[in-house]
Structure 1
Amino acid sequence: MSKFHYKSFLWAVLCCIAVATMISSCGSGDGIKYRYGVFLGASPDDLKYMDEYEKVVIDAQYFTAKEIAALKDSGHTVYSYINLGSVEDFRPYYKDYEGITLEVYENWEEEKWVDVSKAEWQSFVVDELAVNIINKGVDGLFVDNTDVYYHYPTDEIFDGVTNILKGFKNLDTYVIINGGDAYVTEYAKRNSELDSIMDAENQETIFSKINWDDETFTSNEKNETEYFQEYVDLVSGYGKDVYLLEYTTDSGLIQKIDDYCAEKGYTYYASDKLELLAPAQKKGSQKK
């Protein structure tokens, strides 16, 4: 081979390697730096702010299947918010179920608790709402407000929450319960298992505390921290994943959270915004 042709051949090979590398790295998640981010207040315009997060929680009712597919194709795991135990007045189905609502949700005036013992609510949340969300391609459900059982601790409400969670699991999806300590603890006590209702726990404010009067953040009381640590340890003991969602900008507290999660093998995200908007707070993001 002549020197000229050899150089041409070598250049062509190098170009092919470069193109192949670009193709393989595009959408491979190489830019992901952090483990977890909760962006429930985000819109499709905020997708770019999620680039660095391996696992993201969004409200998929406001995203298209194409937008969710783009997130997944670029290396992200996508979970969607779903409200099991209350309903907000901005949801398009609010009027359909207002007749079975209970009291107003404290600190969230646009939201009311729902009587989850009602068959029509159970059917809607599982067979319509959850199915529509899952059909958009999400990897799992971030289930909020099983705490309805804490506020209304009757067997009827307990059974309603259980029916809905088992319905989610029957859809063959990953189920994260947000909070729900009263319900989950009671379910474990009655059944000695959690496999039927959940795959993971997301517990808010183990270390941080929200001052609702002015929506500022501080550190939680020691007894509250210890209570929730015992709770997530209980869930972890049943083989479930544990996520922490904290609200703080305190670097010292974030380091404490980071150390705790490193020791326990838990995952966390510390938000600087109550509304869980994007872009995220980098100092509150757990590195991969």
Structure 2
Amino acid sequence: MKKYNLIVATIISALALSACSYGEGEYGVFLSYDGDLEDLSDYKTVVIDAQYFDKEDIEDFKEQGHEVYSYINVGSIESFRDYYDEYEDLTLDVYEHWEEEKWVDVSSGRWQEFILDILAPDLLDKGIDGFFVDNCDVYYQYPEKEIFEGLTVIMKGLIATGAEVVVNGGDAFVTAYTDEGGDADDIITGINQESVLTSIDWDEEAFHEAAADDEEYFKDYIETYADEGIDIYLLEYTDDPLLSMKIRRYCKAHGFKYYISDSLELDL
């Protein structure tokens, strides 16, 4: 039995290593990282929170052939942001599982102006290539006309900058926009979808394989927009080598980029 287990483990390891060759180092998401960008040199495209990096550091990193996308939170606001107090009056409710964060009323002209006239230009001034736009899921939480229209203003405004605009999640909003007759590239250039093949057990703080119906839904969603020319990225959470291999094979088959993390903190 020990010999059999060793043979199986060897086969699994070999398969995993062969699968690793596709897409490894193409894409990495490091939202909690604030160290030296040189430590991310193994990745061609990185997603960071550029608010915590200097323009010189970003430009030096790009000169080495890297692409840099910055996190920008359009649908909620974290209490640790230096602008939180100014916009706290626009918050709606606490963001489940993230107690330091609240959903924000994106229909507010003040909020739209802040995102498009202050925050986004500040990030672009640092030399980033694009935006990694988080929490368009505010429309899923508050499926109201005013929220939809507010997000549309913000997303079209980001597209108008000429930078890449990768939405993290936001499937309810993107689907609603295109169902209304809009083209996806009016509001995004890419989709980063979390947990297509994996799932998060928040109570146990553990990672698992995605439920079959969830996997089917998200595969259909991202493949639909991939066919329309939208770039697709997967962000998966697991430390299971077999599940990681499944993710790599799926992405290779469809030409999607991916990043597999064993931490929700998305640090290095």
Instruction: State if a TM-score over 0.5 links the two structures.
Output: yes
Per-residue Cα deviation, 1:100-159 (whole angstroms, up to 9, x for no partner): 100100000000000000000000011100010011000000000000000000110000
Q: Confirm or deny that 1:41 pairs with 2:32.
A: yes
Q: Confirm or deny that 1:174 pairs with 2:164.
A: yes
Q: Which amino acid aligns with 2:62?
A: K
Match of 1:86 in 2: 76
Cα distance in 2 for partners of 1:237, 1:177 equals 17
CA separation of 1:271/1:46 partners in 2, compared to 1, >3 Å: closer, same or farther? farther
**Aligned partner of residue 92 in structure 2, secondary structure:** strand
Match of 2:241 in 1: 251
Q: Which amino acid aligns with 1:259?
A: R
CA separation of 1:112/1:218 partners in 2, compared to 1, >3 Å: closer, same or farther? same
Cα distance in 2 for partners of 1:46, 1:270 equals 21
**Aligned partner of residue 32 in structure 2, secondary structure:** coil
Cα distance in 1 for partners of 2:60, 2:239 equals 30
Q: Which amino acid aligns with 2:211?
A: E
CA contact (8 A) 2:71 2:133 kept: yes
Match of 1:215 in 2: 205
**Contiguous gaps of at least 5 residues in structure 1:** 1-31, 279-288
Rg (Cα) greater in structure = 1
Cα distance in 1 for partners of 2:104, 2:224 equals 27
CA separation of 1:128/1:114 partners in 2, compared to 1, >3 Å: closer, same or farther? same
**Contiguous gaps of at least 5 residues in structure 2:** 1-22
Q: Confirm or deny that 1:72 pairs with 2:62.
A: yes
Match of 1:118 in 2: 108
Match of 1:232 in 2: 222
CA contact (8 A) 2:93 2:103 kept: yes
Per-residue Cα deviation, 1:46-83 (whole angstroms, up to 9, x for no partner): 42320110000000000000110111011110000000
Q: Which amino acid aligns with 2:163?
A: T
CA separation of 1:167/1:192 partners in 2, compared to 1, >3 Å: closer, same or farther? closer
Cα distance in 2 for partners of 1:33, 1:227 equals 25
Cα distance in 1 for partners of 2:132, 2:45 equals 12
TM-score by length of 2: 0.90
- Deviation of the 1:192 alpha carbon: 4.2
Q: Which amino acid aligns with 1:229?
A: K
Cα distance in 2 for partners of 1:46, 1:209 equals 30
- 2:95 is aligned, of 78, 93, 105, to 105
CA contact (8 A) 1:246 1:270 kept: yes
Q: Confirm or deny that 1:140 pairs with 2:125.
A: no
- Deviation of the 1:207 alpha carbon: 0.7
Higher mean C-alpha displacement, 159-168 vs 32-41: 32-41
Consecutive aligned runs of 4 or more in structure 1 exceeding 6 Å deviation: none
CA separation of 1:33/1:203 partners in 2, compared to 1, >3 Å: closer, same or farther? closer
TM-score by length of 1: 0.84
- What is the root-mean-square deviation of aligned Cα atoms in Å? 1.1
